[in-house]
Amino acid sequence: MTSDQQPVHPSDPADADSAVAASNGPRGRRPRVAIIFGGRSSEHAVSCATAAGVMRAIDREKYDIVPIGVSRDGQWVLVADDPARFDLTAGRTPEVVPDRSHVVLPLSTRETALTVLEAGQPPRELGDVDVVLPLLHGPFGEDGTLQGFLELSDIRYVGSGVFASAAGMDKHYMKVVFAGHGLPVGPYTVITDRAWRADRAAALDACSALGFPVFVKPARAGSSMGISKVDDPAQLESAIEAAREHDPKVIVEAGITGREIECAVLEGHGTDGPRTSHVGEVAVHDNHAFYDFEAKYLAEADVDLTCPADVPAHVSDEVRRLAAAAFDSLGCEGLARVDCFYTEDGRVLINEINTMPGFTPHSMYPRMWAASGLSYTELIDELVSLALERRTGLR
């Protein structure tokens, strides 16, 4: 358990608003940052590893932290401020283990104090929290649900708001928004649950019309879960069923032949536009059919990350331009990683945006910023500062 459990201070929301913007944080003390991690998605362990990295790197002179783990079944627990417990190593998958207590946020705009509840015990006040760092990937964390909850509680948080988080999680609607802003995306078709149940043959025909190979994906998953590359029409139906295990809505995309070039985007301060990093290239060794779950998390040695990527200047400029435009098209805030394809015939297409990209010290997003002159610790500081500057609600 953390040692910084303090009694609640009576708070005046109006005072808190103006004071929070001050560099010292509200009430003349260091800002308190609740780090929320783990969660219900398949990316639980990766999120734990991210939290370990952030707990180690965050500037303790500047911020106090309150680590809150979310177990796989969705229970919020106060955990020890002990990064080593959450490292992801070859032999160990870290996990938030639920206990008899749980942490609750105030569903009130008049206070920001967290409380620990345990059956048969008096409530334990954890004191006010000034900002939440939601280090969660995938559904129930990166998809706007947690962001909505924090809005209801009137607690500031790092990263995108409700809409951008939800649209960024949904590979269908993110493409609709990108295309609506004139940004280049590849050909695709969407199979809703109803369409699949109503007329499977028509859905399969629409997929085949894209030509093979196709990539079959759950619309709202992540970490390559449920994704398959289909070369043979006979495999299409089972690939769609496999994707439907993760999400009743499935997107099927034409396979793009090209290199995977990514760019890290960081919101600007004040009226400045988004900042973009040097672009990076992800190259997966031949033993993986594509950048799959295993290559991402279990076999890091099978993936090469190069930043800056070895591409012509006009290509990196184009990726950066598209990355900033993609960020703005969804109304993203804080951070996002935009992943593009650089095709053999020289085009750049957007594959996807991630509003809470992998964020361990070894992940692409922090590495691209490190290669661009912003260290992991500075990056965390930037993100928390941006979140402290911003009110909740419409903005």
Ligand X SMILES: Nc1ncnc2c1ncn2[C@@H]1O[C@H](COP(=O)(O)OP(=O)(O)O)[C@@H](O)[C@H]1O
Binding residues for ligand X (CB under 6 A): 186, 215, 217, 222-224, 227, 253, 255-256, 260, 290-291, 339, 351-352
Between β-strands 348-354 and 131-134, what pairing exists: parallel, antiparallel or unpaired? unpaired
Pairwise CA distance, residues 166 & 241, whole Å: 23
* 227 vs 315 by CB, closer to ligand X: 227
Q: How far is the CB of 211 from ligand X (least distance, A)?
A: 12
CA-to-CA dists, residue 77 to 116, 190, 226, angstroms: 8, 38, 29
Q: How far is the CB of 140 from ligand X (least distance, A)?
A: 16
Q: How far is the CB of 270 from ligand X (least distance, A)?
A: 32
* 132 vs 239 by CB, closer to ligand X: 239
* 161 vs 218 by CB, closer to ligand X: 218
Q: How far is the CB of 101 from ligand X (least distance, A)?
A: 33
Closest by CA to 139, choosing from 105, 167, 169, is 169
Backbone angles phi, psi at 349, to 5 degrees: -120, 150
* 129 vs 243 by CB, closer to ligand X: 243
- The DSSP code for 295 is I
Q: How far is the CB of 301 from ligand X (least distance, A)?
A: 17
Q: In the bound complex, which residue of the shown chain has the CB atom lying closest to ligand X?
A: 291
CA-to-CA dists, residue 35 to 61, 78, 183, 366, 392, angstroms: 16, 10, 34, 17, 18
* 34 vs 185 by CB, closer to ligand X: 185
Q: How far is the CB of 257 from ligand X (least distance, A)?
A: 7
The answer to whether 258 and 345 are in contact (CB under 8 A) is no
The SS3 call for residue 195 is helix
* 161 vs 168 by CB, closer to ligand X: 168
